[in-house]
Amino acid sequence: MTSMPQAVLRFAPSPNGELHLGHAYSALFTAEMARRLEGSFLLRIEDIDLGRCRPEYEAQIYEDLAWLDLTWEMPVRRQSEHFGDYRAALDTLAGLGVIYPCFATRREIAEAAGGAFDPDGAPLYPGIWRDADAGEVARRIAAGEAHALRLDSARAIKIARGFGRPLEWPSFEFVDGQLRVTALMATPERWGDAVLARKDTPTSYHLSVVVDDALQGVTHVTRGADLLAATDLHVLLQTLLGLPTPLYTHHKLITLDGRKLAKSAGDKSLRALREGGATPAYIRSAIDLRDEP
Ligand code: GLU
């Protein structure tokens, strides 16, 4: 009899602000899933956005999570220390001919998108630079003009389908204490030609998360429902890069009076709640972890 491989889960916050109840939910949910799966719990610091991430926020992440009585395996992976890994993935994609430089500004994209949006609500990039003149591209690069690298999604999907691996991902949940896995079809085309390396940083959320989950051997991804659509793009990248697809679950987003917490201003941070006398037990009851799973 072969034994099940060890489950590996991760909580992956960005140190660009203070953690709030939504993060506490995600971290405690992940730890609870790791417990059920008898797996390990990793912490990953997603700090590719060098302009917005701050060391003091990172220090506070450790403090907040320790206060919630969470423990994680060492060493912690900090994405800003691994740009070379993301570069290598971009090289692989370039070798497949599925990325291209894009010099367009936000305004040009918004104007050209014609009212179409990607699942994040950003104007859908209409392929402005996809078939650009190679000489013009080379001239701009030589002149040092800032550019993003975008996925040629139609070509990428065609190539991925040719690999004979279905573009789908396994969704997991516990039902009556039993792990249930359902395969869901991915439709990455709704992201259009997504940015894989930004103008201001040589990678993107989508690329780094896919590379890191594979490098860290993550078997079960647990994250908020706001990232559900992103999984379709992640599966496409995993297929192109020859990386395994983990199992996924997208948990509910914590709301306060019906408002989404993560994006609304003025929501109390865990630090503020702690300083106001809240206990970890209060936090657990406030987010109602028992609700789910
Ligand atoms: N860093 C992302 C966030 O803070 C989470 C990434 C993920 O779990 O895939 O929203």
Atom of ligand 1 nearest to the CA of 262: 10
CA nearest ligand 1 atom 3, residue:
13
Q: Per-residue pLDDT averaged across 234-262, rounded?
A: 86
Residue nearest to atom 8 of ligand 1 (CA): 223
pLDDT tens figures, 80-114? 999 999 999 999 999 999 999 999 999 999 999 99
Our mutation pick for probing the ligand 1 site, out of 203, 209, 245, counting the most ligand atoms within 8 A of Cβ, is: 209
The number of beta carbons lying within 10 Å of the beta carbon of residue 52 is 12
Predicted confidence band of residue 261 (pLDDT cuts 50, 70, 90) = low
Give CA–CA dist 131/86, Å, rounded: 24
Whether 47 contacts 79, CB under 8 Å? yes
Instruction: Report pLDDT for 265.
Output: 43
Q: What is the mean pLDDT of residues 254-258?
A: 66
* Residue 270 token pair: 């865990």
Distances (CA, A) of 246 to 9, 163, 200, 203, 220: 10, 18, 29, 21, 5
Contacts of 162 (CB under 8 A, 6+ apart): none
Q: Which helix (H) or strand (E) holds 150?
A: strand 148-151
Q: Give residue 209 CA to ligand 1 midpoint distance, Å.
A: 8
> What is the reported pLDDT for 45?
98
What phi and psi values does residue 9 have, to the nearest 5 degrees? -125, 160
Give pLDDT, residue 291: 45
Q: Is there a contact between 29 and 251 (Cβ–Cβ < 8 Å)?
A: yes
Judge if pTM exceeds 0.75. Answer: yes
Q: Give pLDDT, residue 64.
A: 98
CB 106 within 8 Å of CB 225: no
Sequence-ordered list of residues with C-beta below 8 angstroms from that of 86, at least 6 positions apart, any chain: 197, 202, 203, 207, 208, 211
Per-residue pLDDT, 256: 64
Measured in whole angstroms, how far is the alpha carbon of residue 63 from the centre of its chain?
Answer: 23
Structure tokens at 67: 């206060």
Distance CA 287, CA 18 (A): 17
Q: Return the structure tokens found at 136.
A: 């013009």
Tell me how far the alpha carbon of residue 77 lies from the centroid of ligand 1, in angstroms: 14
pLDDT for 288 equals 75
| pLDDT confidence tier of residue 266, bands split at 50, 70 and 90 | very low
**Residue 205 one-letter amino acid:** Y
Residue linked to tokens 């860290």: 216
Residues with CB under 6 A from ligand 1: 12-14, 46, 209, 223, 227
- 175-183 LR contacts (CB < 8 Å, sep 24+): 179/37, 181/247
- Is pLDDT at 4 greater than 80 in this prediction? no
2 Cα: distance to centroid of ligand 1 (angstroms): 33
Average pLDDT of 219-237?
A: 97
Centre of ligand 1 from the C-alpha of residue 73, in Å: 18
Mean pLDDT of 250-259: 75
12 CA → ligand 1 middle, Å: 5
**Mean pLDDT of the 199-224 span:** 98
Could you report the per-residue pLDDT of 5-40, keeping only the tens digit for each? 799 999 999 999 999 999 999 999 999 999 999 999
CA–CA dist 83, 208 (Å, integer): 9
| Confidence tier at 196 by pLDDT (50, 70, 90) | very high
pLDDT at 258: 56
pLDDT in tens, 140-163: 999 999 999 999 999 999 999 999
The predicted structure's pLDDT at residue 262: 53
Q: What pLDDT, on the 0 to 100 scale, is given for residue 290? A: 58
Residue 42 is encoded by which pair of tokens?
A: 């990793």
Q: Take atom 5 of ligand 1 and give the residue whose Cα is closest.
A: 12
Mean pLDDT in residue range 176-201: 97
